């Protein structure tokens, strides 16, 4: 879960700020991009980070940082470097996921043949990874106007989805395919896939399997935009945990499709605090995306957990800084830190929250304060992430010397590797910004 959360956060950041695309050839194995929006210096820094990462002793942490390096190499337009990094990961399932990411990136760059060739290196059991590659290939085919080719690729994805041993996963995958088929205007294929999805749910006999399948079906119906059907399916769930999880997915879709105020009734039915927190934080991010900081503050204040409120106040502070309200940002950051410091010293969550606040401080330009907070964090993973953002922000703002100073200080390999990745990410983001300004 930590790998996934870290990858999603850093991947989203680069996609938003850098908008780099993968530069590969039209066919054959992965290739190193000639420039593709990324400097040769950034790629060299990433290779150095890879060397450092291989010396991390803990297997989970080593795989985590190699995962991050590969994701950044993909953003840096070098499928070959990312492929080589993926092959260093000793966990087979994680290696398969990284190879699939390389293939997805090739597909996004228009290298359909190369993407499928990379996908062929995946082990037979990597059904989920194959599914995501086929979906990305079909999306690229749609962009090219090749609807026939996209339809055929999605039919392959259906067969892969149906082969998955977990019924809930089968339903989730088929839901995504149906939504894509509907978006392409292929109503007949979409209805057929929807029918297959409901048939899987109906065939579940064991109580636990039935609950998982119905929860997945409720989420699928919400993704299709059929919110009434999703609520009806969620109402059939017997287990409180399954029902709360389904309702949290539905509430998130209600807010996405109809606005933050549309999920009040659904939220009132959720009893699990963690699911309430998921929807509550989703509401904060939705308001921030809409530019409504006042509503975001109100949503953050309604969160029951101090750690969740602290995290959200840090994001609100960053948004205020971006809007030019420096005084408001400073106050919000102080509030975030005050909430974080109220957490018990024995709580693992405290260091995680402080790390995330440090990340937002760095992105808002308060690199010195971010480094100071990072220095107080004992956990290597949390300190590494915070210092990575500090290095990224320093380079992005033109202060490469500060970033290199962070990279040269005495730190364990995990932390040093993260700082080097931040350095490279900053180079990529700055390079992209300079190109857009021309």
The fraction of the chain above a pLDDT of 90, given in percent, is 36
**Is pLDDT above 60 for 412?**
yes
In 18-111, alpha helices (H): 40-53, 59-75, 79-86, 92-108
Widest Cα–Cα separation across the chain: 62
pLDDT attached to residue 260: 67
Q: 414 versus 190: which is more confidently predicted?
A: 414
Which residue, 176, 266, 180, 265, is CA-closest to 221?
Answer: 176
pLDDT attached to residue 6: 41
Which residue, 2, 3, 39, 32, is CA-closest to 18?
Answer: 39
pLDDT attached to residue 154: 92
Residue 377 backbone dihedrals phi, psi, to 5 degrees: -90, 125
**Is pLDDT above 60 for 2?**
no
C-alpha 13/C-alpha 425 separation (Å) is 10
Q: With bands split at pLDDT 50, 70 and 90, how would you rate the model's confidence at 388?
A: very high
Residue 428, CA distances (Å) to 77, 91, 173, 397 in order: 10, 28, 33, 12
Mean pLDDT across 224-228: 81
149, 186 contact by CB (below 8 A): no
Count the neighbouring beta carbons within 10 Å of the beta carbon of residue 433. Answer: 13
Span 308-340, pLDDT tens digits: 999 999 999 999 999 999 999 999 999 999 999
Span 140-153, pLDDT tens digits: 888 888 899 899 99
* SS3 label, residue 18: coil
C-alpha 180/C-alpha 290 separation (Å) is 26
Count the neighbouring beta carbons within 10 Å of the beta carbon of residue 112. Answer: 21
**Is pLDDT above 50 for 19?**
no
What are 223's two structure tokens? 């993704």
- Helices 413-437 and 380-396 meet at what angle, rounded to 10? 30
In 224-366, alpha helices (H): 227-235, 240-258, 264-269, 273-290, 293-301, 306-322, 326-341, 348-363
What are 215's two structure tokens? 């929860």
Count the neighbouring beta carbons within 10 Å of the beta carbon of residue 235. Answer: 13
pLDDT attached to residue 314: 96
Q: With bands split at pLDDT 50, 70 and 90, how would you rate the model's confidence at 12?
A: very low
Span 41-75, pLDDT tens digits: 999 999 999 999 999 999 889 988 998 998 899 88
pLDDT attached to residue 53: 95
Q: With bands split at pLDDT 50, 70 and 90, how would you rate the model's confidence at 348?
A: low
184-188, 219-223, 294-298: which range is least confident on average?
219-223
The sign of the dihedral angle between the CA atoms of 228, 229, 235, 239 is negative
17, 27 contact by CB (below 8 A): no
Residue with tokens 């808002």: 364
Q: With bands split at pLDDT 50, 70 and 90, how would you rate the model's confidence at 99?
A: confident
Residue with tokens 């089968």: 170
Residues 6 or more apart from 406 whose CB is under 8 A from it? 371, 387, 390, 391, 394, 419
Residue with tokens 């749609």: 142
Residues shown for the chain: 438
Mean pLDDT across 276-302: 89
What are 271's two structure tokens? 């009893």
Residue with tokens 């994701």: 71
Q: Where are the domains of the chain?
A: 205-271
The fraction of the chain above a pLDDT of 70, given in percent, is 91
What are 261's two structure tokens? 């105020």
**Which helix H or strand E contains 11, and what residues bound it?**
helix 2-17
Establish how many alpha carbons lie within 13 A of residue 323's alpha carbon, considering only the half-sphere containing its beta carbon. 18
Query: For the CA atoms of 348, 352, 353, 358, what is the dihedral angle to 10 degrees?
Result: 140
C-alpha 296/C-alpha 283 separation (Å) is 7
Chain Cα centroid distance, residue 14: 11
Q: Which residues pair with residue 32 across a beta bridge?
A: 78
* SS3 label, residue 56: coil
What are 315's two structure tokens? 């994001």
The region that residue 65 occupies, defined by phi over 0 for left and psi between -120 and 50 for alpha, beta otherwise, is alpha
């Amino acid at each position: 879960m930590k790998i996934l959360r870290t990858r999603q956060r850093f991947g989203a950041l680069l996609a938003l700020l850098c908008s780099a695309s993968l530069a590969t050839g039209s066919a054959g194995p992965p290739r190193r991009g000639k420039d593709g929006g990324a400097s040769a210096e950034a790629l060299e820094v990433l290779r150095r980070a890879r060397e450092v990462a291989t010396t991390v002793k803990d297997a989970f942490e080593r795989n985590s940082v190699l995962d991050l390096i590969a994701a950044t190499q993909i953003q840096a337009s070098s499928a070959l470097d990312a492929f080589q990094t993926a092959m260093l990961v000793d966990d087979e399932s994680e290696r398969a996921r990284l190879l699939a990411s390389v293939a997805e990136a090739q597909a996004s760059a228009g290298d359909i043949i190369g993407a499928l060739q990379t996908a062929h290196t995946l082990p037979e059991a990597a059904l989920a990874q194959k599914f995501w590659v086929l979906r990305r290939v079909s999306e690229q085919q749609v962009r090219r106007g090749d609807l026939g080719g996209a339809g055929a690729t999605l039919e392959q994805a259906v067969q892969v989805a149906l082969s998955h041993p977990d019924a809930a996963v089968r339903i989730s995958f088929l839901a995504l395919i149906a939504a894509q088929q509907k978006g392409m205007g292929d109503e007949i294929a979409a209805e057929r896939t929807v029918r297959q999805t409901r048939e899987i749910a109906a065939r579940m006999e064991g109580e636990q399997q039935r609950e998982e399948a119905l929860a997945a079906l409720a989420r699928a119906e919400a993704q299709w935009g059929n919110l009434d059907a999703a609520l009806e399916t969620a109402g059939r769930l017997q287990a409180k945990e399954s029902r709360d999880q389904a309702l949290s997915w539905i509430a998130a879709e209600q807010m996405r499709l109809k606005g933050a105020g549309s999920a009040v009734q659904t939220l009132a039915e959720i009893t699990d605090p963690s699911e309430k927190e998921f929807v509550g934080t989703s509401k904060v991010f939705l308001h921030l995306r809409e530019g409504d900081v006042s509503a975001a503050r109100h949503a953050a204040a309604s969160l029951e957990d101090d750690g969740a409120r602290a995290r959200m106040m840090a994001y609100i502070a960053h948004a205020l800084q971006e809007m030019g309200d420096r005084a408001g940002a400073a106050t919000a950051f102080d509030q975030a830190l005050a909430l974080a410091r109220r957490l018990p010293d024995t709580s693992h969550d405290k260091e995680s929250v402080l790390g995330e606040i440090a990340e937002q401080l760095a992105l808002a330009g308060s690199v010195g304060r971010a480094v100071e907070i990072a220095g107080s964090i004992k956990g290597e993973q949390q300190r590494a992430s915070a210092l990575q953002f500090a290095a990224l922000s320093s380079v992005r703002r033109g202060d490469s010397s500060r970033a290199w100073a962070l990279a040269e200080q005495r730190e364990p390999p995990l932390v040093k590797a993260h700082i080097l990745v931040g350095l490279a990410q900053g180079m990529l983001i700055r390079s992209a910004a300079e190109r857009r300004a021309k």
